Amino acid sequence: MKQKDKNTEALILQTARSVFIEKGLAGARMQDIADKAGFNKALLHYYFTSKNKLFDIVFEQEFGDFFSHLAGILMAELPLFEKIEKIVLLDIERLTQFPGLPNFMLNEMSQNPEAIMKRMKKIPVGLILGSFQKQINSEVKKGIIKKISAQQLLINIQSLCIFPFISRPMIKGLMQMDEKAYQAMIKQRKTEVAAFIISAIKL
Amino acid sequence: MKQKDKNTEALILQTARSVFIEKGLAGARMQDIADKAGFNKALLHYYFTSKNKLFDIVFEQEFGDFFSHLAGILMAELPLFEKIEKIVLLDIERLTQFPGLPNFMLNEMSQNPEAIMKRMKKIPVGLILGSFQKQINSEVKKGIIKKISAQQLLINIQSLCIFPFISRPMIKGLMQMDEKAYQAMIKQRKTEVAAFIISAIKL
DNA sequence: GGAGTTTTTAACCATTTGGTTAAAAGTAAT
DNA sequence: ATTACTTTTAACCAAATGGTTAAAAACTCC
């Protein structure tokens, strides 16, 4: 065997992912990851050199995943309202699976904005945003929706999808929901949020 | 002087606040706070005993502030649409002043949900939420707005206000905005978000 | 100005934590 | 089986960090 064991590597990565997402970069301990994965701490360094390198790999993976999905829908040949519905559904379903994800990503982003900026540059944002704005403008001209910038619309969509997950503890506490009630509320949002947005922009 | 110096105490607290908000509980260093406040590290312990105690005080302060403002508007004698406008304006203006605040609060909440739950219990949520729901129902009966739960509406309002601040680095990177463009976008949201919400629920 | 109190500091300490190293265990080819 | 290599481990190390302590400095009241 001349390669580092792919199974071991994958197991470490997967474990690191769960610990980083739960605790964040500063809060995560290499020892925790090692214990949870069932290896010695030194092995993590053998495979990934340092905590930061390990973190970068995890982060980049999650980051890429999220944006490729979003870009996929935005660039598809679909009516505007269907795109909105698709984005909302995809977002909420993905986040239902990994509720800790946005907190992790956003927190680390505000902790280290420069690093993110670099990654962003790889994404053809101008193209994607431009084509989406064109689609919006066309609907505006047809008198179907109100004038709105692609930026503001996207921010609104993502706000309404992501925020309820980030603020889960607050919502549960404040609205006196148990986990079941919270899940029910999230499920309701899968359709309600899209309707809310469409109703907001429809003329 | 028999009391601990109130100025020193206040200065430490204020400095701690800024450091905690910037770095979070795990990321903040007592040394940083001490340096920034211009004191010795031991002094922080003299005044506040431990890092956690200091943090708790800072957190509780921010937390109380936020909710008393929100509750104030919700319980006021105002038409529904005006309340929405007021909440949006208050939120965005407050967050413009302290952009790091929601990231700090939400992150620490998901790190330590139990502690927050306790604090929540002190707030008469049922009362506030109930009275707000009544107002909504009354507008629904008058045929002015669509049926919606107070919970979902409040979540939507807070999502649209707060998320753009939490995701500032992402938005700036993704939408290729410099700080000026970002501020302009935020300013626009002060009025646009309320209009968006009202348009979404109006019949 | 001196006694008694409070405030502030410098020097330490114990623990945690990321990271290293050298040796042991495992694997594959000859 | 021997050799040559990779994988895994236990034991360490140095730096960082929260916290302690004892003494110096400053203030208050007489």
- CA angle, residues B179, B184, B186, in degrees to nearest 5: 95
Cβ-Cβ contacts under 8 Å, A169 against chain B:
109-110, 113, 116-117
Q: What is the pLDDT along chain A (203 residues), one digit of tens a residue?
A: 445 566 889 999 999 999 999 999 989 999 999 999 999 999 999 999 999 999 999 998 998 888 899 999 999 999 999 999 999 999 999 999 989 899 888 888 888 888 777 777 888 889 999 999 999 999 999 999 999 999 999 999 999 999 999 999 999 988 989 999 999 999 999 999 999 999 999 98
Closest residue on chain A to B102 (Cα): A167
Tell me, yes or no, if the pTM score tops 0.85. Answer: yes
- Count of alpha carbons within 13 Å of A104, Cβ hemisphere only? 26
Q: Which two tokens stand for residue A145?
A: 């929706």
- Please report residues of A whose CB lies closer than 8 A to that of B120: 173-174
Q: CB contact, 8 Å: B164 with chain A?
A: yes
CA distances from B43 to A163, B12, B49, B55 (A): 39, 9, 9, 15
Q: Which residues of chain B fall below pLDDT 50? A: 1-2
Six token digits for residue A41: 């701490």
Are A160 and B158 an interchain contact pair (Cβ–Cβ within 8 Å)? no
Of chain B residues 82-141, which have a CB less than 8 A from chain A? 100, 103, 105-107, 109-111, 113, 116-117, 119-120, 123, 125-126, 129
What's the CA gap between A24 and A111, in Å, rounded? 10
Residue labelled with tokens 């610990």:
A19
pLDDT of residue A5: 63
CA angle A43, A44, A48 (to 5 degrees): 120
CB contact under 8 A, B171 and A155: yes
Nucleotide nearest to B40 (CA to C1'): C9
Nucleotides of D under 7 A from a protein CB: 5-11, 16-22, 27-28
Gap from A26 CA to chain B (nearest CA, Å): 6
Residues A88 and A100: their CA atoms lie apart, in Å, by: 18
Of the candidates B27, B120, B189, the beta carbon closest to that of A173 is on B120
Residues 30-59 of A near strand C (Cβ < 7 Å)?
30-31, 41-42, 45, 49-52
Provide the β-strand partners of residue B145: B202
| Burial class for A20, CB neighbours closer than 10 Å (0-12, 13-18, 19+) | buried
pLDDT attached to residue A4: 59
Which one of B104, B118, B159, B160 makes the best mutation probe of the A interface by having the most chain A beta carbons within 10 Å? B159
Q: How far apart are CA A62 and CA B145, in angstroms?
A: 40
B162 class by beta-carbon count within 10 Å (0-12 exposed, 13-18 middle, 19+ buried):
buried
Nucleotide with minimal C1' distance from the CA of A54 is: C18
CA distance B159 to B13: 29
Distance CA B40, CA A157 (A): 47
The amino acid at residue B66 is: F
Q: How far is the CA of A44 from the C1' of C20 (A)?
A: 13
The rounded Cα A22 to chain-centroid distance in angstroms is: 14
SS3 of residue A145 by DSSP: strand
CB atoms within 10 A of CB A60: 12
**Among partner residues B113, B123, B155, which is closest to A169 by beta-carbon distance?**
B113
**Structure-token pair, residue A86:** 């698709």
Residues in chain A closer than 8 A to B201 (CB atoms): 196, 199
Nearest CB neighbour to A152, from listed B155, B192, B201: B192
Report d(CA A15, CA A20) in Å as an integer.
Answer: 9
Calculated CA dihedral for residues A37, A38, A43, A49, nearest 10 degrees: 20
Distance of alpha carbon B10 from alpha carbon B172, whole angstroms? 34
Token pair of B55 as six digits: 């943090």
